[in-house]
A and B are shown apart, each in its own frame.
Chain A
Amino acid sequence: MSLLEISELSKRFGGVVAVDGCSLSVPAGSITGLIGPNGSGKTTVFNLVTGFLPRDGGEIRFKSRSIAGLGPDRVYGLGIGRTFQLARIFPRLTALENMLVPVRRAGFRALLSRGQWGHEKEHAMEMLDFMDISQVAGTLGGALSYGQRKLLELAAVMMARPELVLLDEPAGGVNPALLERIAEHIRQLNGQGVTFLLVEHNMGFVMNLCHEVVVMQQGRVIAKGKPSEIRENPAVLDAYLGA
């Protein structure tokens, strides 16, 4: 069953057709990769799904319900979390405080219950530790390095306990030795029922992690399948992977 279903989605910026009748589905419980050349419309699809941009046409369904036209806060409230290519964090909050912002999705009851709050804080510290950034828990977001911001954002989005997470280049700018651990963590969360759709250019990361891979070019889907099939697909080799 698909958790997210996109059909005939389109978006123009002036004369440029960024997304051109794009259709794809993300099966519930899957880790699905979305790849394609720079400028093929991947991030725009993310922006359309999460309500950051209004669509020009097409339909977006989450758990069979239309979410097209909803704003980012509503989409987030329904259980779709996302990260950004250039990490967006709160620069004047500490890393730990950044982690606790998404917890509010759980509602004010959680905030008011001391036991619950303490538990969330503990959980946040565990996550920071896992991402190798617990030493900067008290550092302001604005003082973190680029890579540390990416890791913080990835850890923070999970604090809202989303059902579907859209990751925009989670491996970009991250130390390669950490990638294995991040991949393992995504697998663990996936095992607990979280579905992932991720845009990524690191093919080792995508091919090892994803169950399904969707390939975009010029705003359209040109191929989809298992990683092994995608790796051998001539159209994908030509458009994206290179010889």
Chain B
Amino acid sequence: MGALLELQGVTAGYGGGDILRELDLSVEEAAITCIVGPNGAGKSTVLRVVSGLLRPRLGQVRFRGASIGGLSPRAILHRGIVQVPQERSLFPTMTVWENVRMGAYTVHDRQLVERRLQAVCDTFPIVRERRQEPAASLSGGQQKIVEFARALMLDPALLVLDEPSMGLDPKTRTIVFDTIRAMNQAGRTILLVEQNARSGLGLASHGVVMESGRVRLQGPGSAVLNNPEIGRLYLGATA
């Protein structure tokens, strides 16, 4: 399998200085790639660059071999990259069903939308069970699952998840991680940032440790997880 996404020498920031500094990173097709690292290392900024929410100042971003650096978020969405943001992002007063449908608002083929809706309901039964309820009435974990469902409405080639387990109770967290694993086993390529580093790396085929806007170390998820220095510096004892 080759690299689906490749960042080379990417430098980017928000005006107050560069957050990413000549960052190199690649995401293999059909893999789960997990980025961990200290607060402010630039993890979420990588995801913003990939989704087109932040234009890199220098460097290359390639998706399926074609340059996407500097494209608009909409154009990147059309190429098949969909991001689920860190904070809760469902429309709280809209129903679950309406929220999931919103995921396909750029798709004009109605039959295709219906087919995907059925497929998403089969994967995530909660979408069908709670379809008429406002999104705000769902618990945090349920909302996260519905956000995944909404993202899958575009049948993305790359699913980008920013701290999917944040704010979730232990039981729900397990369900969310199991769901990520299942989406990957169904062939989906996933790039995620996770502060719950041990669980994230445990799930990942490829682990990336970032520090100060650069990749400090990368390798198979289990190797990164078991690296004693990385454990001491970044993973902590209790996580």
Residue positions of A touching B, CB distance < 8 A: 16, 35-39, 85-86, 132-133, 136, 139-140, 143-148, 150-151, 169, 172-180, 183, 201-205, 208, 240-242
Contact = CB atoms under 8 A, between A and B. Distances in A.
B236 A146 contact: no
A123 B235 CA distance: 28
A132 B239 contact: no
A148 B39 contact: yes
Interface string B51-95: 000000000000000000000000000000000001100000000
A178 B38 contact: yes
B171 A241 contact: yes
Q: Which of A144, A201, A204 has the most CB of B within 10 A?
A: A201
Interface string B1-26: 00000000000001110000000000
Interface size class of B (residues with CB under 8 A): 35 or more
Interface SS, B side:
loop
B169 A178 contact: no
B39 A37 contact: no
Interface in B183-202: 195-198
B139 interface: yes
Interface string B200-239: 0000000000000000000000000000000011111111
B166 A173 contact: yes
Given A38-B140, A176-B195, A176-B238, A85 B167 contact: yes
Contact of A201 (B173, B198, B235): B173
B103 interface: no
Contact of B38 (A140, A175, A201): A175
A177 B170 CA distance: 19
B139 to A, nearest CB: 4
A242 B233 CA distance: 29
A204 B238 contact: yes
B40 A174 contact: no
A139 B16 contact: yes
Given A39-B139, A177-B233, A201-B167, 12 more contacts: A39-B140, A145-B45, A147-B38, A172-B167, A172-B195, A175-B234, A176-B239, A177-B235, A179-B239, A204-B237, A240-B171, A242-B174
